[in-house]
A and B are shown apart, each in its own frame.
Chain A
Amino acid sequence: MAAEMALAKSISISKLGNYPKPRIPQTKFFRISMSATSSKPDTKSSSNKGAKKGIKESLLTPRFYTTDFDEMETLFNTDINKNLNEAEFEALLQEFKTDYNQTHFVRNKDFKEAADKMQGPMRQIFVEFLERSCTAEFSGFLLYKELGRRLKKTNPVVAEIFSLMSRDEARHAGFLNKGLSDFNLALDLGFLTKARKYTFFKPKFIFYATYLSEKIGYWRYITIYRHLKNNPEYQLYPIFKYFENWCQDENRHGDFFSALMKAQPQFLNDWKAKLWSRFFCLSVYVTMYLNDCQRSAFYEGIGLDAKEFDMHVIIETNRTTARIFPAVLDVENPEFKRKLDRMVEINTKLLAIGDTDDSGFVKNLKRIPLIAALASELLAAYLMKPIDSGSVDLAEFETQLVY
Chain B
Amino acid sequence: MAMNLAAASFTSWPVCRPRTTTNHRLYHHQHNTHKPNISLLHHQHSILSLPHRTTTRAATTVDSSVPLQQEQPSSKKYYFVVANAKFMLDEEEHFQEQLAERVRLFEERNMEQDFWLVIEPKFLDKFPKITSRLKRPAVALVSTNGPWITFMKLRLDRVLCDSFEADSVDEALTSNPAKLQFEKPETWVAPYPKYESGWWESFLYANSEKQVA
A residues whose Cβ falls under 8 Å from a Cβ of B: 82-88, 90-95, 97-100, 102-103, 218, 222-223, 226-227, 229-230, 244-245, 248, 251, 255, 258-259, 262, 304-305, 308-309, 311-312, 315-316, 323-324, 391-394, 398, 401-403
Q: Are A402 and B158 in contact (CB under 8 A)?
A: no
Cβ of A372 to closest chain B Cβ, rounded Å: 32
| Residues of A contacting B192 in the complex (Cβ-Cβ under 8 angstroms) | 223, 226-227, 229-230
Q: What interface size band does chain B fall in? A: 35 or more
Interface presence of B94 (CB below 8 A): yes
| Residues of A contacting B27 in the complex (Cβ-Cβ under 8 angstroms) | 86-87
Cβ of A267 to closest chain B Cβ, rounded Å: 16
9 A-B pairs within 8 Å (CB atoms) are namely A85-B23, A88-B150, A94-B148, A95-B151, A226-B191, A248-B98, A304-B191, A308-B189, A403-B87
Q: Ordered nearest first, which 6 A-B pairs have the shortest CB separation?
A: A226-B192, A91-B150, A91-B147, A323-B157, A91-B151, A403-B83
Taking a contact as CB atoms closer than 8 A, the residue among B82, B147, B158, B193 that contacts A401 in the complex is B158
Within 8 A of A (CB), among B140-181: 147-148, 150-151, 154-155, 157-160
Q: Mark B44-70, 1 if CB is under 8 A from A, else 0.
A: 000111110000000000000000000
A91-B147, A223-B190, A227-B191 provided; 17 other pairs, C-beta below 8 A? A87-B13, A87-B23, A87-B147, A88-B151, A92-B154, A97-B50, A100-B101, A100-B102, A102-B50, A230-B192, A251-B94, A308-B189, A311-B189, A324-B157, A393-B19, A402-B134, A403-B134
- Determine chain B's interface SS by DSSP, over half rule: mixed
Taking a contact as CB atoms closer than 8 A, the residue among A99, A258, A394 that contacts B154 in the complex is A258
Q: Are B83 and A223 in contact (CB under 8 A)?
A: no
**Chain A: CB-nearest residue to B22:** A82
Q: How far is the CA of A312 from the CA of B82 in the complex (A)?
A: 27
B residues whose Cβ falls under 8 Å from a Cβ of A: 13-15, 17, 19, 21, 23-24, 27-28, 47-51, 82-84, 87, 94, 97-98, 101-102, 105, 108, 133-135, 147-148, 150-151, 154-155, 157-160, 189-193
Cβ of B45 to closest chain A Cβ, rounded Å: 11
Q: Are B147 and A82 in contact (CB under 8 A)?
A: no
Q: How far is the CA of A255 from the CA of B155 in the complex (A)?
A: 6
Cβ of B92 to closest chain A Cβ, rounded Å: 10
**Chain A: CB-nearest residue to B190:** A312
Taking a contact as CB atoms closer than 8 A, the residue among A90, A308, A393 that contacts B147 in the complex is A90
Q: Are B190 and A323 in contact (CB under 8 A)?
A: no
